[in-house]
Structure 1
Amino acid sequence: IASVSSDGTMRLWCVRTGHLQKRLELTTNEVVAIILSPDSKKLVWASNDCTVQLWDTSSGKAQQILCDRSDRVRAVAFSPDGKEVVLASDIGTIQLWNAATGE
C-alpha cells in the first residue's frame, strides 16, 4: 500500500505485516492521486501543481516525469500488465502513456 502525507512524504507499506517498507521524499505536498503498478515495482503520482511522476519503488527515485501539464490530473491508473499508465484530468481529457518510455 502507498500512502501520502501532508509533510511531503510517501510511505510504502507491506500489506501482509503492516510494517513500513520505505519512506520517500516528494517534491510536493499536494499529491491528489497515487497508484502502485500491479507488480508494486513502480508507482505514479499526480499533484496539484500539474506534475505527474513515475517512480521506481525499490530505488525510491523518479524515473519519468510523464507530463508537466497546464491542466490538473485527478486520477491515475496502470493497465493490468503495468505497461501503460492512464491519466484523467479535471477538464475531461484522458491520456495513455508508456510506463517504460514515458511517451
Structure 2
Amino acid sequence: MLGLLETREAAARERVEDLREAAARAAAVLEAAEIELDRRMIAREELVEALAVSAAETTAVTEAETEAEPAPVALSLRTYRRRVAELMVKLEADSRYQAGLRAGELGLPR
C-alpha cells in the first residue's frame, strides 16, 4: 500500500513540474507578445502623429496656394519621398505596398 502511494506521489510531482515548465514557457511567449504589442502601438501612434503633421502642412500649403494661384502638387517630390521613407521605416516595411498593408493591420485611417 505504501508503494502505491509513493508511486502516485511521484507521478503527481512529475505532473506539477511539467505544468510549471509549461507555465514558464507560456509566460515567456506572453512577455514577447506584450513587447511586440507595445512596439506596434508606439509605431502606430508615431505614424498617426506624422500623418497629422503632414496633413496640417499640406492643408496650410493648399490654403496658401488657393489664396494665390492653385498648384497641382502640395508637396515637393523630395518631401514626399522623405515622408514615405520615414513612414516605411516606422512600419518596418520594405515597399509602399507592404507599408499600406501594415497600416491597415494597425487600423490606421486612409
One fold, TM greater than 0.5? no
Query: Max radius of gyration: which structure?
Result: 2
Q: Into which bin does the TM-score normalised by the smaller protein fall?
A: under 0.3
Greater helix share, 1 or 2? 2
TM-score between both structures, scaled by the size of structure 1: 0.22
TM-score (norm 2): 0.21
RCO (CA 8 Å, sep 6+): is it higher in 1 or 2? Answer: 2
